[in-house]
Chain A
Amino acid sequence: MQTSAQPSLSTPTVALPVMMVAEVQDSLLVVVHDLERLDGLLAHAMENLMQRFTSASTELDAPSLATLKELEGVRLGLRSAVTELQFQDMASQLIGHTSRILQGCAYRLASESMGAEDGEAVPFVEEVPERPNPVTQDEMQAGSIELF
């Protein structure tokens, strides 16, 4: 059974079948692809949502409706929704960072376990991001404000 290349004896190692490494890499890249699709779906949904939001706001500001106090609750609701409507930006950043980690893992797994054959160009290895995910929020509550 062909296993992955042996690193130096000073480093603890685990021998893995090459086929298994290849399958894990494929799975990681499939997940990355699905995350990109998810990002696209969110962006498309957000685009439609923004059109409807802007349209509703504009109609509420029409001269014939502007003085109706009964609609004040609706206006307030729309203004408050601005906080939640920022979800797509945060989701996109979260997805992007997670994708880069998975992609980095996939390429690193391949390059360290399989290396390159004679004459084969060394593939570009996406570095796993060192910085933690910039999105730490768990809820869509307004964030802090600090003036220096």
Chain B
Amino acid sequence: MAVILTVDDSPSMRKMVSFTLIAAGYQVVEAVDGVDAFEKAQGQAFDLVLTDQNMPRLDGLGLTRKLREHPDFKSTPILMLTTESSDLMKQAGRAAGATGWLVKPFDPVRLIEVIKKVIK
């Protein structure tokens, strides 16, 4: 069973994402921000990271850069799930090493489709 790390400072968003992923058969670990996520990544391998962008302490782009420098996460799919929709932010996401950019609100069916596409 694939394990997904979902990162968002909004409790309601974490619940919605977890609900969708668990219903699709994934195991989910939640983190409240980039710092929490990176700490959890030290102790566990994940098949995919799904992260918000605007978070306190360490935002999604910062988390993505840190994970890409980590030997265990160089090729792990990292999807941004954020309200940010500008081309500038998407370019920054691509440059940071993100695998894809999803704009909120997400459709649960489409989210699972894209996750199945990127998790090998």
A residues with a Cβ closer than 8 A to B are: 43, 46-47, 50, 54, 57, 79-80, 82-90, 92-93, 134-137, 140-148
Contacts and interface: CB of A to CB of B under 8 A. Distances in A.
B114 A89 contact: no
Contacts of A86: 12-13, 16, 104-106
Contact-residue bracket for chain B: 35 or more
Given A84-B105, A90-B105, A137-B83, A145 B12 contact: no
A130 B91 CA distance: 19
A1 B45 CA distance: 69
A88 to B, nearest CB: 5
Contact of B83 (A43, A93, A141, A142): A93
Contacts of A89: 8, 10, 12-13, 83, 104
A80 B20 CA distance: 10
A46 B104 CA distance: 17
Contact of B100 (A57, A140, A146): A146
Interface in B63-109: 82-85, 90, 93-94, 98-109
B116 interface: no
13 contacts: A46-B12, A57-B23, A79-B109, A80-B108, A83-B108, A86-B105, A89-B12, A92-B10, A134-B84, A143-B83, A144-B101, A144-B103, A148-B101
A47 B15 CA distance: 10
Contacts of A92: 10
Contact of B105 (A46, A47, A79, A143): A143
A72 to B, nearest CB: 14
Contacts of A88: 10, 12
